[in-house]
Structure 1
Amino acid sequence: MKSVVFFVVSFIVIGAGVSGQTQTTDTLRLFTNLFANYSKDIRPVERASQSINVLYGMAIRQIIDMDERNQILTTNVWLRQGWSDANLKWNPDDYGGITKITIPSSNIWKPDILLYNNADSSFKGAMKTNAAVSNDGNVTWFAPAIFRSSCKININYFPFDKQECSLQFGSWAYTTEHLNILNRSASGDTGSYLVNGEWKLEDFPVIRTLPQYSCCKYPYSVLDFVLIIRRRSLFYVINMLVPCILVSALTLLTFYLPADTGEKFTLCITILLSLTVFLLLAAETMPPTSEVVPLIAQYYITTMVLVSASTVLTAIVLYIHHRGTYVGRAPSWFRRFTLDYLAKFMCMGDCHNPDVKDKIPKINFENASGSSGSSTGVVEAGLHSNEMPLELDVANLPTSQSGTCVELDRRGRIRFIMSQIASCLQQVVEYSEDAIVDEEIKGEWMRIAFVVDRFFMWLFGLSTAVATCGVLLQVKE
């Protein structure tokens, strides 16, 4: 029994070895016979007038990089090509039933299909992988490739932009009379696509065109594999737009700060410099083109114009605030417009102060030089409205020898002294009245400046909101 089992196993092993050797011998013989008189430099057709149809397809694997400044797209793709080679046909019965073999692609003829919009100086193209050849002459060649292609970047809506980058393939030497390129499907394969953190792949259509050139009678067949990608804008919103919005919102503080702080101009200029820095950062990521102004640049420029306008408005407010008594009281129409209508419109209440005349004390000096029976009566007659006590040391005044003359002379001196005192008091009161009027005029200008400042704050806030919405609403989905 053991001898029978050993005999069966030995027969199977020997038979398998003979079969494998035969298969290897058939493949080697097939390969030798196929390439005995084969030339990879000659177009493999039975008749010279015959055209070769090439089925060309592509699978997008990865978007490696998008260089916006140089407008170059780097992609990793898998190429899929198929054509018929009249010199690679055989009868499977003559070679042990072999219907397909795999051979190096460098040994066979390949269509000279190139990337027209190539931006790589090395022109490496696809990897030299093996090709599968069937007994009816059909050649299938799949190869990975990394392409650097030029892409016209439309930065009008940056960073909410959508780009259409085309990978344009065609033959360099053959027209449709000798080589006809057909797309394998209506769109490229996206099943193996690796998600990119910056770009979202929306579609990958294939467009076939037949451009006619003046050099040739027949047109060329060209395939455009269009990558429709949309930028993921979250990174730019967080790092560029939100800081700009917050910095521009700080401009409202320049109108809210009191004019006496002296920090209004400093804050405006600091905000303007910050926006300039953000604009420079955004310009570094965009191509230096003058065809269009990017959306983010429009927003920065609009915000900078508004901040510059706020600086001018701040200068106007400071000018009104410190106008004071140099030019007198404000015109009646201006006071009425600002303190009556504008203040009520902004719900600031009544910004008027009581009349200046109600604040000035009234002192009557009409009887200061009149005659009276005594010095106390003269003082009371001159200062009765103010009830200001005044005591004079009459005993020390110089007198004459005669009693009547002494009395008259003393009264005359008292009148003279009282008139001098009244004159001095009158000057003091007039100075006080002028000071009170000046303070009231100064306060009136300050109140006007406060109302105007608050009006400018609301005007700037509304303008900023309208400008921001107007720019951002231009984004197209």
Structure 2
Amino acid sequence: MISIIKLLTLFIITVYCQSDDQKQEEAAIKKLRNNLFKNSSYDPMIVPVKNWSHTLNVHLSYNLIKIFDLDVNTNILTTEGWLLMSWTDQHLQWNPDDYDKISIIRVAPDEVFKPDFMLFNSVDVNTMKDNTIKTNMLLYSTGEIMWVPPVVLKSLCDVDLTNWPYDEQTCFLTFGSWTHDGLGINISDDCNISLEEYWPSGEWDILGTEVRRKDLYFTCCPEPYPEVSFFIKMRRKTTLYHYTVFLPVSTAVLLNLLMFWFAIHSNNRFLLSGLSLLLMTIILLYLGSRFGIGTDTIPFAIRYISRTILAIGLTLVWTTVAYNLLNMDIQVPDGIKRIVAPAEWIIKRSGGNMDSDTVNLTIDDQNVGYNNRQMKDKSLEIVITIIDRLVFVIFFIVIISMHL
């Protein structure tokens, strides 16, 4: 029983001492804040240097968290990250021994001077103002201030889609003071971009980053205007497009090549060629709606698909012409007959027998076409078949050459 009473007494004393220490610390912080902001007539609009000939050096870094989107229609890159800014306020320094060993306090952004950094290549002048969270700042006894606000940025990015979807894009974020020149606020040379907290994107892989700082000079003003740019080099992930674009395109091309192995008067030729043309047109419309008109470059994939559609359309035109020629009463000159006579085996190898299906609308028309072809000389069919094989070779060469 006595031991329990001792434990309770020790607990009460500990809680009382902690509460007393907390009150003492709070009183010291209030005293410090009064001396820093109220009694000293501190003005957050004045650059915090004691000598106006001195420059306020600001360290600026960017911690990239997420790449939300790179819109190829509007050339807008949307990212989320943390801006890390630090500088020394010479008007906000104190001796920790005078304030219960307090060496750091939290202050609101509106209480102290902060650099008026803006995103120069922003698509909206209110981007940083509306999307920057007003987190507290850390103020140290040395006067050093550290501010790490999370911010969503929308910046312009020149997109080159020539090699889509194997394209690589380099975008940048350029920051600088909006109203101060380099003699008032200078951006230090040790700026950097960090990927330690980066969350991988579903569409982009980051290949590398780079930081470039430079001083700008204008004809109106002799003072330097420093700015820093954070470059992000990205490469598009292509796995999805292998299934949604390249596999259907390859299938359509193979179907059109397969068409040539059917007899000219077979329904299968029109079916396969028409299906290939429809499939390629749907893919082209999909890509056209995806890219829109926001880019000056036309992807090689769209050029390839467009030319392939033209080639498939020409083969369909040839099939229609060849089919109608077979149903016409055309006399082949004797000289051509002697040339193509040894090539009769082509007809047999191509499956071009007279019992194949035709595209006549009625059974009577089909029978009439069949009887007409039975009475005709085989030389015309041999000539057309030879031309058809040449068209196959030309189509195959065109498709291959467009890959090179």
TM superposition score category, shorter chain reference: 0.7 to 0.9
> In structure 1, how many angstroms separate the alpha carbons of the residues matched to 2:57 and 2:184?
9
Residues 84-99 of structure 1: matches in 2 within 5 Å? 84-99=88-103
Q: 2:161–2:295: 8 Å Cα contact kept in structure 1?
A: no
In structure 1, list runs of 5 or more residues that go unmatched. 352-437, 471-477
How many Å apart are 1:46 and its aligned residue? 0.9
What is the identity, as a one-letter code, of the residue corresponding to 2:379? E
Task: Compute the TM-score of the two structures, normalised by the length of structure 1.
Answer: 0.72
How many Å apart are 1:341 and its aligned residue? 7.2
Q: 1:59–1:78: 8 Å Cα contact kept in structure 2?
A: yes
Cα–Cα, structure 1 residues 322 and 97, in superposed 2: closer, same or farther, change >3 Å?
same
Residue 193 of structure 1 pairs with residue 202 of structure 2: no
Q: 2:75–2:294: 8 Å Cα contact kept in structure 1?
A: no
Moved more, 113-122 or 142-151: 113-122
Cα–Cα, structure 1 residues 253 and 88, in superposed 2: closer, same or farther, change >3 Å?
same
Matched with 1:230 is 235
The structure carrying a bigger strand percent of its residues is: 2
Q: Deviations over 1:169-200 (max 9, x none)?
A: 11111111111113545x42111111111111
> In structure 2, how many angstroms separate the alpha carbons of the residues matched to 1:5 and 1:271?
87
Matched with 1:391 is none
Matched with 2:22 is 20
Matched with 1:298 is 303
Residue 444 of structure 1 pairs with residue 345 of structure 2: no
Matched with 1:79 is 83
How many Å apart are 1:275 and its aligned residue? 1.9
Residue 146 of structure 1 pairs with residue 81 of structure 2: no
Return the match for 1:218 from 223, 230, 241: 223
How many Å apart are 1:320 and its aligned residue? 5.0
Aligned-pair RMSD on alpha carbons?
3.1
> In structure 2, how many angstroms separate the alpha carbons of the residues matched to 1:5 and 1:73?
62
* Aligned-pair identity (%): 24
> In structure 1, how many angstroms separate the alpha carbons of the residues matched to 2:376 and 2:349?
20
Matched with 2:397 is 462
How many Å apart are 1:155 and its aligned residue? 1.0
Task: Compute the TM-score of the two structures, normalised by the length of structure 2.
Answer: 0.84
What is the identity, as a one-letter code, of the residue corresponding to 1:220? Y
> In structure 2, how many angstroms separate the alpha carbons of the residues matched to 1:466 and 1:339?
33
Cα–Cα, structure 1 residues 331 and 102, in superposed 2: closer, same or farther, change >3 Å?
farther
Matched with 2:388 is 453
Cα–Cα, structure 1 residues 216 and 447, in superposed 2: closer, same or farther, change >3 Å?
same
> In structure 2, how many angstroms separate the alpha carbons of the residues matched to 1:236 and 1:70?
21
How many Å apart are 1:31 and its aligned residue? 0.8
Q: Deviations over 1:94-123 (max 9, x none)?
A: 111111111112211110001111124643
Matched with 2:44 is 40
> In structure 2, how many angstroms separate the alpha carbons of the residues matched to 1:184 and 1:213?
25
Q: 1:343–1:451: 8 Å Cα contact kept in structure 2?
A: no
Residue 250 of structure 1 pairs with residue 252 of structure 2: no
Aligned-partner SS, 2:283: helix
Aligned-partner SS, 1:19: helix
Q: Deviations over 1:413-437 (max 9, x none)?
A: xxxxxxxxxxxxxxxxxxxxxxxxx
Q: 2:75–2:295: 8 Å Cα contact kept in structure 1?
A: no
What is the identity, as a one-letter code, of the residue corresponding to 2:147? W
Q: 1:255–1:314: 8 Å Cα contact kept in structure 2?
A: no
Moved more, 300-309 or 153-162: 300-309
Q: 1:256–1:454: 8 Å Cα contact kept in structure 2?
A: no
How many Å apart are 1:321 and its aligned residue? 3.1
How many Å apart are 1:269 and its aligned residue? 4.4
Larger of the two Rg values belongs to structure = 1
Matched with 2:355 is none
What is the identity, as a one-letter code, of the residue corresponding to 2:42? Y
Residue 110 of structure 1 pairs with residue 102 of structure 2: no
How many Å apart are 1:298 and its aligned residue? 1.3
> In structure 1, how many angstroms separate the alpha carbons of the residues matched to 2:266 and 2:344?
24
Matched positions, count? 379
How many Å apart are 1:263 and its aligned residue? 5.8
What is the identity, as a one-letter code, of the residue corresponding to 1:33? N
Residue 172 of structure 1 pairs with residue 178 of structure 2: yes
Cα–Cα, structure 1 residues 459 and 9, in superposed 2: closer, same or farther, change >3 Å?
closer
How many Å apart are 1:20 and its aligned residue? 2.5
Cα–Cα, structure 1 residues 331 and 180, in superposed 2: closer, same or farther, change >3 Å?
farther
> In structure 2, how many angstroms separate the alpha carbons of the residues matched to 1:218 and 1:201?
36
Q: Deviations over 1:142-181 (max 9, x none)?
A: 1111111121111111111111111111111111111111
